[in-house]
Amino acid sequence: MERSLSPSPAQHRTSRNRTAQISVVVIGYDDAAHVADAVRSALAQGPAVHEVIAVDDCSTDGSADVLAALAAADARVRVVRRTANSGGCGTPRNDGIDAARAPYVMFLDSDDVLPPGAADALLAAALDRGAEVASGLCVRRELPSGREVPWQPELYRKAQLVARPELRPRLVHDTLCVNKLYRTEFLREHGVRFPEGRFIYEDFVFTARVLAAAPRIALVPERVYVWHVRRAAARLSISLDRSGIANWQARLEAHRQSVDILRDARGTGGKRLARAARAKFVDHSLRMYARELPARGEEYRRAWWASTRAYLETFDTADLDAAPAPGRVIARVLLAADEPRDLDRLKQVAARPARLVPPYPRAADATPVWADDLPQVTLEHLLVRPLRLLPLAVDGELRPGPGGSRLTLRLRELYGRVAQAGPATVDVELVNRQGGPPGLRRTAAFRPGESGDIWAAEVLLDLPALADGVWDVRLRLHFDDGTTRDTTARAVAGPGLLRRTVVPSRRRGVLLVQPYATQAGNLSVRLAPGVRGVAGVAKRRLARVLRAVGARAGR
């Protein structure tokens, strides 16, 4: 079971010498623009870092000169230059493990950074508790916006010691290798290495091998890694480039290998972790890629559907039952249908929070089902699931205007559960994508529609009062029975909707308002204030058009 991280007297003695304990392995390929920042962030960790091993995967862009200058300036920097590019991240990390001279090792990618105090926090946890692995919070920082999103924050709410991985199955959700400190000899003794060569999602397999070796794992709540996400980069990272079906197929293979490794681990704990890994696949990977399907081409959709269906056929009923309901429903539709279907509806179920949009058919015995022609995909859980967790569908229409922007919300019935609870009011919040408190809060009462299965509410929003940027629409539904449900609005397309509108603003002259649907279908609004803001948006749009024309001409 998990324990608190209060050290014993013996462990206090063990932790006295915390200097020169860590080898930080920095890997990079053709990343001269960022690798120096990564190395410096490792050196800035202080005396806990014995050495920084910079593995250059045969770069051709001047990275070698940058690393040579860093090594000349600080004796702790050692450069390992590969003579041939490996094609992936696993091989250079293995080179770093082989070269490491310190008792502990951690990994850093060339385009990311370690925040101050990361090494000390991880090393203290490992030494104080005699843990083979110490793991901390990673944040994904979207660039250039700077927006930060914590990765798997549920694992790192407080300091804990996990004596054996199977006692905390949620560990399989954190597949990253970079937010962790490993005892070097532990990796070597158990032969824990990364897949060699061009292997995408190598972290999946490495993490499975670590967990299968049954280490003691210390969890710390501190931020220990900043993962830079550069979606507009000229060359996307291997895992972010999801344009082709090869990325999904690589993800399937990495996950398949991970499950096999866990299942084959000695004892019953590995089987428990393998089941948790499959449930995580259904809830995370399956939902993430299902959201993208409507935007993909027909060839991609068919290949995705066939490969995913084949993989899901290796799952047993208990694997699917262990997954949260939205992913489980998507998986069962895939297993029941030979060809891609209902993609927009699946996209809504894959959203977070999930939404189930009409139709709402029933089987002959009145059991809720996905579709009349797929009665085997039953939805009976919707009849007993707490209302606060139901995939309620709320349609949102935002119509900007000079007298205020009118937001109309329509809550749909769901197999009688909504009417039973009694829709009362809805709280509307506009939250800036970059974080911070809501910029606007409004409350409106629901009124029943003519059809009896829709409840509508309207609010007037003063958008010129908000700062520029992207604002997400968040909802809290209140029902007569005292239940509340936090959700989002589904962006509705139609005449006069989801288009740019210029509205007057007393402070800035004019404001460009752009309601739009996120990848998950949620309603958001982008604001560009002032004449300069409007011109900037127009300029960027023209640039996108010209790039698209150029790309077509170059084919």
In the chain, the percentage of residues whose pLDDT exceeds 70 is 90
Averaged pLDDT, 366-395: 96
Half-sphere exposure of residue 367, counting CA atoms within 13 Å on the CB side? 13
Question: What pLDDT score does 12 carry?
Answer: 36
**Residue 146 confidence (pLDDT):** 85
Alpha carbon distance 77, 52 (integer Å): 5
| CATH classification number, 389-530, choose in 1.20.1530, 2.60.40, 1.10.620, 3.80.10 | 2.60.40
Q: What are phi and psi of 292, to 5 degrees?
A: -90, -10
- pLDDT score recorded for residue 147: 85
Least confident range from 42-51, 87-96, 138-147, 214-223: namely 138-147
Residues 342, 371: contact at Cβ < 8 Å? yes
CA 252 to chain CA centroid, nearest Å: 17
Q: How confident is the model at residue 372 (pLDDT cuts 50, 70, 90)?
A: very high
What is the CATH architecture of 2-229? Alpha-Beta Complex (3.90)
Q: What is the mean pLDDT of residues 123-149?
A: 94
Q: Is the peptide bond before 359 cis (omega within 30 degrees of 0)?
A: yes
Asked whether the predicted pLDDT for residue 539 surpasses 80, the reply is no
User: What is the radius of gyration, based on Cα positions, of the chain?
Assistant: 26
- What percent of the chain lies above the pLDDT cut of 90? 80
The alpha helices in 444-524, defined as continuous H runs, are none
Q: How far apart are CA 275 and CA 282, in angstroms?
A: 11
pLDDT attached to residue 434: 82
Residue 554 has pLDDT above 90, yes or no: no
CA distances from 199 to 195, 234, 295, 448, 482 (A): 6, 21, 26, 55, 51
pTM across the whole model: 0.87
Which of these ranges, 285-294, 335-344, 367-376, 509-518, has the smallest mean pLDDT? 509-518
* Domain ranges within the chain, ordered by starting residue: 2-229, 245-384, 389-530
233 pLDDT tier (thresholds 50, 70, 90) = low
Supply the pLDDT for residue 531.
61
Confidence label for 238 from pLDDT (cuts 50, 70 and 90):
low
